[in-house]
Homo-oligomer: A and B are copies of this chain.
Amino acid sequence: MNATLFVCTTCRAGEPAVDGQPVPGARLYAALAAEPAPEGLTITPVECLSACTNGCAVALSAPGCWSYVYGRLGEGDVPDILAGAAAYAATPDGLVPWRERPQIFRKQSLARIPPQER
């Protein structure tokens, strides 16, 4: 399916902003975009996922599927984020079996939203 991994590029993850330095969200996006995207997945930057107290944050969504938001992420989580996103993109409904989700997706879910059209 055509799934999207949205990456908040404005997340500061509690760090003070430093002039000329990319914020943690921008660094996370750059690190994700530098890897080959899993099949069926588009990685898209977005300004603010309104999860500021739990940044860095990403969201997974796809037409007709459950959407998920995960938080408290960093560059070290890139392999797990991509593995979890690949598993999501391979489902017909966005529901990845619990045991097949990376631990960061099991433990750091901020919210999920049902499909918009059913």
On whether the beta carbons of B116 and A116 are closer than 8 Å, the reply is yes
Give the complex CA separation of A63 and B63 in angstroms: 9
User: Number of contacting residues on A, CB 8 A?
Assistant: 25
Identical chains bound together, number: 2
Q: Does A10 contact B (CB under 8 A)?
A: no
**What is the minimal beta-carbon distance from A91 to any residue of chain B, in angstroms?**
15
On whether the beta carbons of B69 and A111 are closer than 8 Å, the reply is yes
On whether the beta carbons of B116 and A61 are closer than 8 Å, the reply is yes
On whether the beta carbons of A113 and B110 are closer than 8 Å, the reply is no
Give the complex CA separation of A82 and B44 in angstroms: 32
Among A6, A48, A67: residue with most chain B CB under 10 A: A67
**What is the minimal beta-carbon distance from A58 to any residue of chain B, in angstroms?**
10
Interface of A is mostly: strand
On whether the beta carbons of A110 and B68 are closer than 8 Å, the reply is no
List 20 extra interface pairs beyond A59-B111, A71-B111, CB under 8 A.
A6-B113, A6-B114, A46-B114, A49-B111, A49-B112, A49-B113, A50-B110, A50-B112, A51-B109, A51-B110, A51-B112, A59-B113, A59-B114, A61-B113, A61-B114, A67-B116, A69-B69, A69-B110, A110-B111, A113-B113
